């Protein structure tokens, strides 16, 4: 999961994503950021919100980048879950733009809400209208929010906003707040069609 | 000075610290006085804020870096010379680094092979059993002597990592950073079991004489050799052994006898032989006991979170994927306990084929992690 470090994601989306997440974090909280990349978000939360923050990153270069920025980094593989962390150890567990790179989606979502009182999850929306157009034309979508070719994508799960909300309902996960974005700008209507990125604040069942 | 190895601290000389103030030990015994042998590298800065203590593991000593014989530089290098030196990850241009031989050691610090001032004879088996806590207490006396009120960092691998961890509990205000490498919050039953077999090899050697073998003019070399052979197996990974030795034969053909058939046998015998020629059996016994006894959570009913609650240092915890003697799981226990206490901690899990011995190797990612961490240490 190299997530935010190496991807060619649109910067406007990335900034908007991080802005939205930062807005949900209260000063002094304990925060765990899964797939933290180079620690950009945590560094910001440490500086702006004085959080006690930890990032999980398995990529060796990401680990070094975090250490260089003075961000606490923990090098473990998320596919193994968050074993060892006690229930409710964090106020917020964040997973920014990397849920689609994890095989064990349901298991990890449960882990997020076990170790965190709340979770913040963002992901690229495969239901975005340009993605649908690409499929109609017979090609897999490639866009600013899905910058990869089908043969080199780190993404292993392909889902839309509607898919995600349906899974939350099925698993009894409470959707506390939603922010939908199109090229970094807020979208409020027909978000499964018009938003390229969605950010959720999730609560325990 | 073109004879100096690149990046080396150069020729070093051990120093001696004698402490006449009695040291109470965890066992209840008291050492009336003691001596520690140590080396230093780099220069202590004006406000003594750049001192780093390097703690050694089972068979290590105070000679961490540089060489002790200018005519044989490569042959007399310190055991962690690849880490410590000018421009190296633990940079002696920035830090004042201290290596110390622990109490009970056999390299000049007070131990079984030194003279008991009370009797005028070598301590032998009468040297008291010392613990990680006792070592740290003695190291704190050395810190006082050096004028170091607070270490910038205390660093150690394996048993050395346990000392770094213990520092944060015994003297929480006296260090800024603890670097705990290839270590564990306690030994597992399997680990104690290995130690016990090693001890039995020594204790049942006919030349052990209850630990008073010095007086007999002999050493329990066979026991010590066996102990080392066993230990050595556990420091390497299965894969690495397969790759390095496989089933290759020493002399090209099976001998159908109990001579050495396989290369691995020859290698282990050589390592055991070599070790028994320079290490002290009583020190080996005592040090394995210190390992077995270490358990900071014993006073909190096994709750490591509670045990580490008093720590104030920032931590770097490092583990190696193929280390099965001090597995990554055990390092993660330390890491999660520190997270639960809201301490600053980073944890690196290094992909390495070298098993427990990895912590002594100069793996690129491992050293990059240490270099970056030490660079960020603010003095």
The whole-angstrom separation of Cα B304 and Cα B12 is 40
The structure tokens 């809201």 sit at: B342
Question: Which residue from B183, B100, B83, B170 is spatially nearest to B139, judged by alpha carbons?
Answer: B100
Question: Does B372 contact A64 at a Cβ distance shorter than 8 Å?
Answer: yes
Q: Which residues contact B176 (CB under 8 A, 6 or more apart)?
A: B150, B151, B152, B153, B313, B314, B377
Q: What is the ipTM of this complex?
A: 0.94
Pinpoint the alpha helices (H) of chain B: 132-146, 159-170, 189-203, 213-216, 221-235, 238-244, 263-278, 281-293, 304-307, 328-340, 364-376
Question: DSSP readout, B203-226?
Answer: HT-TT-GGGTHHHHT---HHHHHH
Whole-number pLDDT of residue A9: 52
Cβ pair A72:B335 closer than 8 A: no
Q: What are phi and psi of A14, to 5 degrees?
A: -60, -45
Can you name the residues that pair with B39 across neighbouring β-strands? B99
Is B305 designated active site? Answer: no
Q: What's the pTM value of the predicted model, to 2 decimals?
A: 0.94
pLDDT at B246 (0 to 100): 96
pLDDT, residue A144, reads 87
Q: Collect all residues of chain A within an 8 Å Cβ-Cβ radius of residue B373.
A: 67
Torsion of CA B163, B167, B170, B174, to 10 degrees: 160
Q: What chain A residue is nearest to B332 in terms of C-alpha separation?
A: A84
E-assigned strand segments in B84-164 = 84-85, 90-91, 96-100, 151-157
Q: Would you state the pLDDT for residue A2? A: 39
The interaxial angle of helices B132-146 and B159-170, nearest 10 deg, is: 70
Q: Is it the case that residue A3 has pLDDT exceeding 50?
A: no
Residue A10 has pLDDT above 80, yes or no: no
> Which secondary-structure segment (H or E) carries B36?
strand B34-41
pLDDT of A71 above 90 = yes
Residues of chain B under the 50 pLDDT cut: 1-2
Taking residues A101-108, report their average pLDDT.
93
- In angstroms, the first-to-last Cα distance of chain A is 27
Residue A11 has pLDDT above 70, yes or no: no
CA A159 from chain centre, in angstroms, equals 13
Q: Which of A30, A38, A74 to mutate to test the interface with B (most CBs of B within 10 A)?
A: A74
**Chain A hits for B349, Cβ within 8 Å:** 75-76
For residue B235, give the nearest of B276, B201, B260, B244 by alpha carbon: B244
Is B345 in contact with A72 (Cβ distance < 8 A)? Answer: yes
Residue B333: list chain A partners with CB under 8 A: 84
What is the rounded end-to-end Cα distance, in angstroms, of chain B?
A: 30
Quick check: B323 and B331 in contact, CB under 8 A? no
Residue in this structure with the two tokens 């090609």, named with its chain if needed = A139
SS3 A1: coil
The confidence band for A8, taking pLDDT boundaries of 50, 70 and 90, is very low
Annotation says B126 is catalytic: no
Q: Could B347 and A64 be called an inter-chain contact, meaning their C-beta atoms sit closer than 8 Å?
A: no
Residue-level pLDDT at B4: 58
Q: How confident is the model at residue A4 (pLDDT cuts 50, 70, 90)?
A: very low
- pLDDT > 90 fraction of chain A, expressed in percent and rounded: 83
Q: Which of B92, B86, B97 is nearest to B54 (CA)?
A: B97
Which residue has better confidence, A97 or A85? Answer: A85
- Asked whether the predicted pLDDT for residue A1 surpasses 70, the reply is no
Is B369 near chain A, with CB under 8 Å? yes
DSSP B169-203: HHSGGGEEEEEEES--SS--HHHHHHHHHHHHHHH
Indicate the residue of B333, B344, B369 with minimum beta-carbon distance to A72: B344
Q: Which position has the token pair 């690129």?
A: B364
Phi, psi of B140 (to 5 degrees): -65, -35
**Taking CA atoms, what residue in B is nearest to A60?**
B365
| B144 part of the active site | no
For position A18, what pLDDT does the model report? 86
Which residue among B137, B314, B323, B363 is the active-site one? B323
Report the alpha-carbon distance of residue A13 to residue A18 in Å, rounded: 9
């Amino acid at each position: 999961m190299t997530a935010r470090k190496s991807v060619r994601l649109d910067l406007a989306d990335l900034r908007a994503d991080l802005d939205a997440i930062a807005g949900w974090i209260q000063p002094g909280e304990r925060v765990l950021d899964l797939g933290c990349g180079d620690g950009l978000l945590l560094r910001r939360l440490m500086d702006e919100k004085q959080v006690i923050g930890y990032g999980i990153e398995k990529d060796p270069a990401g680990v070094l980048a975090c250490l260089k920025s003075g961000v606490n980094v923990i090098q473990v593989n998320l596919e193994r879950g968050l074993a060892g962390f006690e229930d409710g150890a964090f106020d917020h567990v964040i997973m920014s733009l990397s849920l689609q790179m994890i095989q064990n989606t349901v298991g990890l979502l449960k882990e997020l809400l076990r170790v965190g009182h709340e979770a913040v999850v963002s992901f690229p929306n495969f239901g975005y209208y340009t993605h649908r157009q690409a499929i109609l034309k017979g090609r897999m979508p490639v866009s600013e929010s899905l910058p990869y070719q089908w043969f080199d994508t780190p993404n292993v799960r392909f889902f839309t906003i509607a898919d995600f909300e349906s899974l939350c309902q099925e698993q009894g996960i409470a959707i506390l707040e939603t922010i939908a974005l199109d090229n970094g700008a807020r979208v409020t209507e027909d978000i499964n069609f018009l938003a390229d990125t969605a950010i959720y604040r999730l609560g325990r069942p | 000075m073109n004879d100096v190895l690149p990046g080396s601290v150069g020729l070093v000389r051990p120093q001696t610290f004698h402490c006449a103030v009695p040291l109470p030990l965890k066992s209840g015994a008291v050492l009336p006085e003691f001596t520690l042998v140590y080396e230093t590298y780099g220069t202590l800065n004006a406000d003594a804020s750049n001192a780093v203590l390097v703690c050694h593991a089972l068979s290590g000593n105070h000679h961490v870096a540089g060489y002790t014989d200018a005519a044989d530089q490569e042959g007399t290098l310190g055991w962690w010379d690849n880490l410590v030196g000018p421009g190296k990850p633990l940079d002696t241009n920035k830090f004042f680094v201290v290596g110390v031989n622990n109490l009970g050691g056999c390299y000049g610090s007070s131990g079984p092979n030194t003279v008991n001032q009370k009797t005028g004879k070598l301590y032998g088996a009468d040297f008291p059993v010392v613990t990680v806590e006792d070592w740290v207490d003695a190291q704190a006396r050395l810190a006082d002597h050096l004028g170091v009120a607070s270490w910038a960092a205390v660093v150690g691998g394996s048993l050395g990592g346990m000392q770094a961890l213990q520092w944060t509990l015994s003297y929480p205000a006296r260090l800024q950073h603890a670097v705990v490498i290839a270590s564990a919050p306690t030994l597992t039953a399997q680990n104690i079991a290995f130690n016990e077999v090693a001890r039995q090899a020594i204790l049942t050697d006919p030349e052990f004489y209850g630990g008073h073998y010095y007086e007999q003019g002999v050493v329990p070399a066979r026991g010590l050799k066996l102990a080392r052979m066993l230990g050595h197996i556990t420091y390497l990974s299965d894969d690495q052994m397969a790759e390095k030795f496989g089933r290759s034969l020493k002399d090209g053909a099976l001998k159908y006898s109990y001579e050495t058939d396989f290369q691995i046998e020859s290698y282990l015998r050589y390592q055991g032989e070599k070790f028994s020629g320079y290490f002290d059996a009583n020190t080996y016994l005592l040090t394995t006991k210190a390992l077995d006894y270490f358990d900071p959570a014993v006073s909190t009913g096994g709750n490591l979170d509670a045990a580490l609650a008093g720590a104030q240092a920032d931590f770097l915890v490092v583990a190696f994927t193929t280390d099965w003697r001090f597995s990554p799981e055990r390092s993660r226990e330390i890491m999660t306990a520190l997270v639960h206490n809201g301490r600053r901690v980073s944890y690196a899990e290094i992909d390495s084929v070298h098993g427990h011995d990895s912590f002594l190797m100069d793996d690129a990612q491992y050293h990059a992690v240490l270099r970056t961490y030490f660079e960020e240490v603010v003095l």
